Structure 1
Amino acid sequence: MKKIIAALSLGMLVAGGSAFAQTSTKPQDQKPRSEMRAAMKDRAQKSPEEMAQMKTDRMAQRLELNEAQKSQLQALNMRQAQEMKAMRESHKATGEKSTEQRAQMQEARKANHDQWQAELKSILTAEQYAKYEADREQMKQKRADGRKGQKSGEHKKSGEHKKRGEYKKQQQGK
């Protein structure tokens, strides 16, 4: 009888330990990937005016902007959104892009962003800009943490892309 109880308790302990080891480490506030994709698709379909308004509202809330700052930021975001839309449309019209053209596009986007940053700095107070920079660094770190192990081509080095293809072929053959 004692052996049976000991065996059952040991079995429960092992089962509980393995169940605990399989719990997800995903943060509870993180949205499912499908929701994030839908949000990105919605964002891509918004007009420059809507994008500028969303960005302004989000920044006004986080940085506690006054009305004058909010209106200046709205104008800045509106101008940037329209410039980015014009850039996207001109690049779509050119069709296939060479490496040199891509580098030029990237340089133009960087120059546009640097100009936006400089104007933003003139609108915000030193404390607000410091908070903005801290938030930006935090988001950059989150993105970097999310991409760990998914560096460019890393899955190809391990041969995972081939394994996935073989698996699909096996499933289709059945």
Structure 2
Amino acid sequence: MKKLLILLAAAALTAGAATAQTTNPTPRSAGGRMEQATPEQQADRLTKQLSLSADQRTQLVTLEQARRAEMQTMRGQMPAGGDRTAMRQTMQTMRDKYDTQLKGILTADQYTRYSQQREERAENRGGRKMKMKTKS
């Protein structure tokens, strides 16, 4: 009887540990990167963080959809193993254009908060990269 109880307890612990390992809290794509939020999800996040109006949210969704379509077109035109410097410059130009359009949608205060949050995220990413490099 004791052996049966011990066996059942071991099976329960093993099953619990196995299911705990299969959950993935952050969605990942096939390349191991986090999946990108949809334009609507991104607009919802910014609406909460920056207190956007309904009109601003709509404009932001439209802007983000246009930016993603432009990026997709640009990626399709670049040959595999092409000039990375030219691609980097093109992407920087696109980012500057997006930034200018975003300034037109947000108020000065909202844009300032957006810029601060973007800088904080960049710093956090840099810190994670450094941690990963030191672990290797």
TM, length-normalised to structure 1:
0.55
**Runs ≥4 in structure 1, deviation > 6 angstroms?**
none
Q: Which position in structure 1 is the counterpart of 2:13?
A: none
**Structure whose alpha-carbon radius of gyration is higher:** 1
Q: Which position in structure 2 is the counterpart of 1:102?
A: 84
Q: Which position in structure 1 is the counterpart of 2:14?
A: none
Other structure's SS at 2:38 match: helix
- Once the two structures are superposed, residues 111-156 of structure 1 have per-residue CA deviations (whole angstroms, 9 ceiling, x without a partner) of 00100001101111111111101111111111121122556xx88x
Q: Which position in structure 2 is the counterpart of 1:83?
A: 70
Contact 1:56–1:70, Cα closer than 8 Å, also in 2: yes
TM, length-normalised to structure 2:
0.69
Q: Quote how far apart the aligned CAs of 1:35 are.
A: 4.2
Q: Which position in structure 2 is the counterpart of 1:73?
A: 60
Distance in 2 (CA, whole Å) between partners of 1:149 and 1:71 is 38
Number of equivalent positions: 111
Alignment of 1:1-174 (within 5 A): 35-36=25-26, 38=28, 43=35, 51-91=38-78, 94-97=79-82, 101-148=83-130
Contact 2:26–2:34, Cα closer than 8 Å, also in 1: no
Aligned-pair identity in percent equals: 25
Distance in 2 (CA, whole Å) between partners of 1:64 and 1:81 is 23
Structure 1: give runs of 5+ residues left out of the alignment: 1-33, 45-49, 161-174
**Root-mean-square deviation (CA), in Å?**
2.5
- Once the two structures are superposed, residues 2-60 of structure 1 have per-residue CA deviations (whole angstroms, 9 ceiling, x without a partner) of xxxxxxxxxxxxxxxxxxxxxxxxxxxxxxxx64462665726xxxxx73222222211
Which residue identity lines up with residue 47 of structure 2 in the other structure? A
Other structure's SS at 1:95 match: coil
Other structure's SS at 2:28 match: helix
Q: Quote how far apart the aligned CAs of 1:74 are.
A: 1.2
Contact 1:51–1:81, Cα closer than 8 Å, also in 2: no
Structure 2: give runs of 5+ residues left out of the alignment: 1-23
Distance in 2 (CA, whole Å) between partners of 1:147 and 1:42 is 15
Which residue identity lines up with residue 43 of structure 1 in the other structure? E
Contact 2:27–2:35, Cα closer than 8 Å, also in 1: no
